[in-house]
Amino acid sequence: MSYTVTLIPGDGIGPEVMAAAVRVLSATGVAFEWETEPAGIAAIGEHGVPLPPRTLESVRRNKVAFKGPTETPVAGGHRSVNVELRKKLDLYANLRPVETLPGVKSRYTDVDLIVVRENTEDLYSGLEHVVVPGVVESIKIITERASTRIALFAFEYARTHGRKRVTSVHKANIMKLSDGLFLDCCRTVAKQYPEVKYDEIIVDNCCMQLVLDPTRFDMLLLENLYGDIVSDLCAGFIGGLGMAPGANIGEHGALFEAVHGSAPDIAGKNLANPMAVILSGAMMLDHLKEHAAADRVRHAVHTVLREGTKLTRDLGGTAGTTEIAEAIAAKVTG
């Protein structure tokens, strides 16, 4: 069977790490037909917008996309392509597994976390305005619909993947209405899954507890902003953003991408670590029910890490992006 997938190379190191990931996915023997479409800074020059309609239509048609990082200007410029893709395609669930990897130096061991982040609202709705000069208001949107469906996603994932506990992360002691609504929805859904333990923790305490001992948590369920921050924190437990894969999932499609950004300072230098994108590709294979191929990709990544001879500089090595890709691809085919 062949799968048609929208491929978005992205900005900065995006084209390099995506080429590495495609090389590894091709080594699995699973047949892909890639529809390459632009997004981000790379799309503006040719199409005038960072997210061309043709890119959106390609993802809608194929229902699966594989995306490189895109650049978002700070304090100005165009809105985040990631946020726009998630909202326009209603990819409401952001799934980020965080697992200790062999051979990666870290002060933490035996980490095995799943971060589930609501992807479509909260402060990321982008509703901001100037009240008077020097005063800006940013509106936080929390709805019963979005909170309920992300809770259902988290608990259903726990049920189907043998997870024992879901912890909702909030700031309802201060934001009593918005975060309070989120908690009410999570509590209602939790009652439908008596086999899964449910508890709650305030977000600042959660961050402290994670740093002290991340193994005390199983699954974290968060609103959009908290999820963005906490998932990056969790990536630090396993070697950094270069090792953290991710997925954005909706009812009518899914988009797979690494947690890290476009790293323009090392773009074009063959220095970027492609493992997060490759592991995101393994998540895509699982989504396509190609579980054996996904397991082979993960095993190949683990083997290369364990051997320790082909590592990028962020992991203490000197190997380049293409060398890593070839080493992993060789393990997949071998």
Which pTM was predicted?
0.93
Asked whether 138 and 124 are in contact (CB, 8 A), the reply is no
Burial of 79 (0-12, 13-18, 19+ CB in 10 A): middle
Say which of 87, 171, 310, 331 is annotated catalytic: 171
Which of 320, 283, 291, 292 shows the shortest CA–CA distance to 67?
283
102, two tokens: 């062999």
Say which of 176, 199, 204, 213 is annotated catalytic: 204
Say which of 11, 122, 179, 228 is annotated catalytic: 228
The continuous run of DSSP H or E covering 166 comes out as: strand 165-170
Asked whether 244 and 235 are in contact (CB, 8 A), the reply is yes
Per-residue pLDDT at 6: 98
Specify the higher pLDDT residue, 27 or 87.
27
**Ordered domains of the chain (ranges, CATH):** 1-97+241-334 (3.40.718.10), 106-238 (3.40.718.10)
Catalytic annotation present for 124: yes
Strand 93-99 versus strand 112-118 pairing type: antiparallel
Q: pLDDT category, 46, cuts 50, 70, 90?
A: confident
Catalytic annotation present for 310: no
Catalytic annotation present for 204: yes
Give the lowest-confidence range in 123-132, 296-305, 307-316: 123-132
333, two tokens: 């085919």
275, two tokens: 């493992």
pLDDT per residue as tens digits for the range 82-126 = 888 998 999 999 999 999 999 998 999 999 999 999 999 999 877
Q: pLDDT category, 77, cuts 50, 70, 90?
A: low
Say which of 11, 87, 124, 198 is annotated catalytic: 124
Per-residue pLDDT at 125: 79
Which runs of E-coded beta strand occur in 49-177?
Answer: 64-67, 93-99, 112-118, 128-132, 135-138, 165-170
Catalytic annotation present for 226: no
